[in-house]
Amino acid sequence: MSTTASTPFPAATIVGYPRIGRRRELKKAVESYWAGRSDATTLQREAADLRHSQYSRLAELGLDASNSSIPASFSFYDQVLDTAVAVGAVPQRFASLADDDGRLGLDAYFTLARGDAENQPLEMTKWFDSNYHYLVPEIGPDTKFSYANRWIREQFAEAAEAGFTTRPTLIGPVTFLLLSKAAEGSGAGFPPLSRLEDLLPVYTQILEDLASAGVQWVQFDEPSLVADQPVDSATLTAAVERAYTVLTDGNRPQILVTTPYGSAGELLPVLAGTDIEALHIDAFKGTVPDAGALRGLGDTVLVAGLVDGHNIWKADLEDASGRLSRLEELAGRVAVSTSTSLLHVPYDADDEQQLDPALRSWLAFADQKVAEVVTLSRAVGAPEAIATEIAAAAEVLATRPSASGVRRAEVRERTGSLGDDDFQRPDYEVRQAAQKAVLDLPPLPTTTTGSFPQTSEVRSARARLRKGELSGDDYTAAMRAEIRRVIELQEELGFDVLVHGEPERNDMVQYFAEHLDGFEATVHGWVQSYGSRCTRPAILWGDVSRPEPITVPWSSYAKSLTDKPVKGMLTGPVTILAWSFVRDDQPLGETANQVALALRDEIADLESAGIPIVQVDEPALRELLPLRQAEQAHYLDWSVNAFRLATSGAAAETQVHTHLCYSEFGAVIGAIDALNADVTSIEAARSKMEVVTDLRQHGFSRGVGPGVYDIHSPRVPSTEEVRQLLQAALDHVPASQLWVNPDCGLKTRGYEEVTESLGNLTQAAVAVRESLVAAR
Ligand code: GLN
Ligand code: ZN
């Protein structure tokens, strides 16, 4: 091999930096471009300004501008999509958008991400165990790879001109193929990984091009290597070995391979044995490898991901420097980095001046983490060099356990005295009979997942309340008006179980966080969820309790408007944890139980208010599932227990529903059953009811509502389509168990399409009901 340069790997770096902008500048720029309010030149200029200011900021925080320590981790939408377009992997249905060289313009790039009138966008799915979503490349036996889009080279040159020697980053070839799905028409079971040999020459070409542009270091992210894969280990080992044998064999920059989100396990020695120049390990979440695993390192720099990129707590520098010393014994040279990209955390804790100073002092957002990395890098070879910083961090962290609200006796007494009974409801047969007596529902009862469209009036009422332009009473009146409208609509459409529509909720987790003790909201703490979408997770920092009822007034008001049963709506403990930044000073299961008890109290109050059905949503149950099978049982144990703790106080006659979405339930069907809900609604429309086969195989015996209306698309399903989906479900689920509902909440949709779709849904249910009676 011949590398263009031999500048040493920087002592301090990060895997990636948030790219949405400190004040969501990229979101605003991109959305205004999509809406036609600005042109492409403006968007490109705004993006370039943003990149420039991010590089400057990182340099200011201590990353050297001249030595490749700043990763070029910008993306207009998603880093996996960027790699797909760099290697020309454009699905057939979008082929006409590319020029003869397979190149896409920015509009075409956005079309892949968002779809157009004729074509579905690329599928979106969760990125490892985070709440970021990436776009799934589609690879078939005939996908043509070519070095198509050269944005990484252009961005390197742009940065260089401004005085920054950046480190271009791409998804590594093995992870890229493992994250891909088989393109339509590929034949059953086609593994995209089988295209590795054809993909590698394109990566080689990219490396050559980057070398000629003067790139010193390039980064390949290989997070798939830390997750169990549906590929046997020999195939995986061979793929990794082959990929990095080929990639290290040309005229190229030096190569860093990263393995964030866990331990690469048996693939670590494989990577260490290749000719790459730097190897990153997640030394926060992953384990410190033993000497044997890294024996093959040779001169390869070990890049120690010591600072957590995924949560927001100030690092324990003493612990980190201990890990650093152990790693120094294993490698000739060690550099310091974050465990993952900082994509998952907000920019700057100093922006949150409204927070209690004690809480703020425990936080490290992206910028604080960069500083921690820089500090730790000074300890390489000289642990005593940061003694002052270690002591300072220890002093701050020592204030945490005893600070007011962190550990509250009354909360601890409750969780400490839980017994088996607290997790157990009466037998299902008993519940079923009791519920039947109260509810009197027809076969195939119809309901929705909870939220109705959030109109601009609803959102603006909330904004005006926040700004003090609307009084509390006027706000309540506005929400009540919306609830009335939603109840009337459901009555008109003939629903059997009604909801209040959740107009009062900005977000299904944030809303509860704002009403529970132990949580704090941020003002600027936005993190990218996908594309231009951001969420602002709350910080769960202290012991959790419920100062007063949260949803009861809204549900009661809805109940007062109708004779039909109204379903109370709560977000489950696991989802509340998954979508918040959670304290790291105790096991998650302990925190989950505290949240569960608060919800248990809420359910008791809903029951007292005469609400006969309560739904506890757990859409994120699948999301937190550990990437390694060996760790999954423990997770499922505490997460299922937390749900059961929340719901097991409910009387036998109270019908408990749950709702799950974000697909791939196969792995967790047992856990879904163990939730022991009376009715489970589950996303299914897009996968054509696949999940019901899984449920039948498992022997699921309680109520189930596979979604029959795909709410992620503005398309209105016809009555006939819904009827067919219900018939398909009836092949696997007895009519006595089947519920009829959409895939998920309707919050992001508009009233017009929702009214039509829901009308078709209830009509289809009635038609199937009648055919069942006729068949008897
Ligand atoms: N009840 C919530 C809603 O309907 C559920 C949303 C979700 O599953 N993501 O909006
Ligand atoms: Zn959902």
- For 47, list phi and psi in degrees, rounded to 5: -65, -40
In tens, the pLDDT along 642-690 reads 999 999 999 999 999 999 987 677 789 999 999 999 999 999 887 778 8
**Model pLDDT, residue 5:** 52
Residue given tokens 């699921």 in the structure block: 700
State the CB neighbour count (10 A cutoff) for residue 610: 12
**Model pLDDT, residue 712:** 81
pLDDT-derived band at 118, boundaries 50, 70, 90: confident
Report strand pairing: 517-520 vs 539-545: antiparallel
* 3-class DSSP state of 70: strand
Q: Is residue 508 within 6 Å of ligand 1 at its C-beta? A: yes
Q: In this structure, which residue's CA is closest to atom 6 in ligand 1?
A: 745
Q: Which atom of ligand 1 is nearest to the CA of 615?
A: 1
Angle between helices 588-608 and 632-647 (to 10 degrees): 20
Q: Is residue 659 within 6 Å of ligand 1 at its C-beta? A: yes
pLDDT above 90 for 551: yes
Distance 74 CA to ligand 2 centre (A): 30
pLDDT-derived band at 641, boundaries 50, 70, 90: very high
In tens, the pLDDT along 257-311 reads 999 999 999 999 999 999 999 999 999 998 889 989 999 999 999 999 999 999 9
- Could you tell me if 128 and 624 are in contact, meaning their C-beta atoms sit under 8 angstroms apart? no
Beta bridge partners of 696: none
pLDDT-derived band at 180, boundaries 50, 70, 90: very high
In tens, the pLDDT along 364-411 reads 999 999 999 999 999 999 999 999 999 999 999 999 999 999 999 999
* 3-class DSSP state of 495: coil
pLDDT above 50 for 251: yes
- Any idea what the Cα angle at residue 386 is, between residues 381 and 388, rounded to 5°? 155
Distance 50 CA to ligand 2 centre (A): 34
Q: What is the mean pLDDT of residues 121-140?
A: 93
Ligand nearest to the CA of 486: 1
Q: Which atom of ligand 1 is nearest to the CA of 660?
A: 8
How far apart (Å, rounded) are the C-alpha atoms in residues 509 and 576? 5
Beta bridge partners of 125: 134
Q: Is residue 743 within 6 Å of ligand 1 at its C-beta? A: no
Tell me how far CA of residue 531 lies from CA of 135, 382, 476, 634, in angstroms. 9, 42, 33, 33
- DSSP-derived letter for residue 46 is H
How far apart (Å, rounded) are the C-alpha atoms in residues 36 and 343? 28
Q: What is the mean pLDDT of residues 165-191?
A: 95
Q: Dihedral of the CA atoms 75, 79, 81, 86 (nearest 10)? A: 80
How far apart (Å, rounded) are the C-alpha atoms in residues 173 and 170? 9
Q: Is residue 745 within 6 Å of ligand 1 at its C-beta? A: yes
Buried b (16+ CB within 10 A) or exposed e, 212-244: ebebbbbbbbbbbbbbbbebeeeebeebbbbbb
State the CB neighbour count (10 A cutoff) for residue 12: 24
pLDDT above 60 for 52: yes
- Could you tell me if 202 and 87 are in contact, meaning their C-beta atoms sit under 8 angstroms apart? yes
Q: Is residue 255 within 6 Å of ligand 1 at its C-beta? A: no
Distance 18 CA to ligand 2 centre (A): 27
- For 672, list phi and psi in degrees, rounded to 5: -60, -40
- Could you tell me if 512 and 497 are in contact, meaning their C-beta atoms sit under 8 angstroms apart? no
For 130, residues 6+ apart whose C-beta sits below 8 A from its C-beta are 261, 310, 344
For 296, counting Cβ atoms within 10 Å of its Cβ (0-12 exposed, 13-18 middle, 19+ buried), the class is middle
Q: What is the mean pLDDT of residues 749-774?
A: 96
Q: Is residue 549 within 6 Å of ligand 1 at its C-beta? A: no
Beta bridge partners of 256: 219, 278
How far apart (Å, rounded) are the C-alpha atoms in residues 385 and 382? 5
* 3-class DSSP state of 418: coil
In tens, the pLDDT along 452-475 reads 999 999 999 999 999 999 999 999
Ligand 1 pocket mutation, candidates 126, 617, 679, 741, criterion most atoms within 8 A of CB: 617
pLDDT above 90 for 116: no
Q: What is the mean pLDDT of residues 116-140?
A: 91
pLDDT above 50 for 1: no
Q: Is residue 431 within 6 Å of ligand 1 at its C-beta? A: no
For 34, residues 6+ apart whose C-beta sits below 8 A from its C-beta are 110, 114
pLDDT-derived band at 3, boundaries 50, 70, 90: low
Residue given tokens 């995209």 in the structure block: 192
How far apart (Å, rounded) are the C-alpha atoms in residues 20 and 504? 27
Report strand pairing: 217-221 vs 533-535: unpaired
Strands in 517-520's sheet, in edge-to-edge order, are: 517-520, 539-545, 581-582
Q: Token pair of 208, please?
A: 């050559």
Q: What is the mean pLDDT of residues 211-222?
A: 97
Q: Concatenate the DSSP letters of all residues of 144-170 into one string.
A: PP-----HHHHHHHHHHHTT--EEEEE
- Could you tell me if 112 and 154 are in contact, meaning their C-beta atoms sit under 8 angstroms apart? no
User: What are the E-state strand segments in 268-366?
Assistant: 278-282, 301-307, 334-338
Distance 509 CA to ligand 1 centre (A): 10
How far apart (Å, rounded) are the C-alpha atoms in residues 283 and 264? 11
* 3-class DSSP state of 44: helix
For 760, residues 6+ apart whose C-beta sits below 8 A from its C-beta are 716, 717, 718, 719, 721, 722
Q: Concatenate the DSSP letters of all residues of 343-384 into one string.
A: GGS-S-GGG-TTS-HHHHHTB--HHHHHHHHHHHHTTTT-GG
Least confident of 3-12, 194-203, 316-325: 3-12
In 3D, which of 352, 344, 347, 306 has the Cα closest to residue 326?
306
Q: Token pair of 268, please?
A: 């670590």
pLDDT-derived band at 432, boundaries 50, 70, 90: very high
How far apart (Å, rounded) are the C-alpha atoms in residues 526 and 550? 25
- Could you tell me if 576 and 509 are in contact, meaning their C-beta atoms sit under 8 angstroms apart? yes
Q: In this structure, which residue's CA is closest to atom 8 in ligand 1?
A: 619
Count of residues in the chain: 776
Angle between helices 719-730 and 751-775 (to 10 degrees): 50
Residue given tokens 């991901």 in the structure block: 305
Ligand 1 pocket mutation, candidates 502, 535, 551, criterion most atoms within 8 A of CB: 502
- Active-site residues, by number, are 712
Distance 683 CA to ligand 2 centre (A): 7
Q: What is the mean pLDDT of residues 3-17?
A: 87
State the CB neighbour count (10 A cutoff) for residue 101: 10
pLDDT above 90 for 187: no
For 546, residues 6+ apart whose C-beta sits below 8 A from its C-beta are 515, 516, 517, 598, 599, 601, 602
Q: Dihedral of the CA atoms 102, 161, 337, 3 (nearest 10)? A: 70
Q: Is residue 660 within 6 Å of ligand 1 at its C-beta? A: no
Q: Token pair of 209, please?
A: 């091009």
Tell me how far CA of residue 237 lies from CA of 176, 191, 270, in angstroms. 15, 16, 7
Phi-psi category of 381—alpha, beta or left, where left has phi over 0 and alpha has psi -120 to 50? left
pLDDT above 80 for 549: yes
Instruction: Provide the CA 127 distance to its chain's centre, in angstroms.
Output: 6
Q: Is residue 449 within 6 Å of ligand 1 at its C-beta? A: yes
How far apart (Å, rounded) are the C-alpha atoms in residues 124 and 772? 37
Ligand 1 pocket mutation, candidates 458, 498, 744, criterion most atoms within 8 A of CB: 744
Tell me how far CA of residue 651 lies from CA of 322, 341, 425, 687, 696, in angstroms. 52, 46, 8, 35, 27
Q: Dihedral of the CA atoms 324, 327, 333, 338 (nearest 10)? A: -50
pLDDT above 80 for 776: no
How far apart (Å, rounded) are the C-alpha atoms in residues 620 and 398? 32
pLDDT above 70 for 2: no
In angstroms, the first-to-last Cα distance of the chain is 76
pLDDT above 60 for 713: yes
Tell me how far CA of residue 293 lies from CA of 263, 327, 666, 684, in angstroms. 11, 12, 33, 43
* 3-class DSSP state of 55: helix
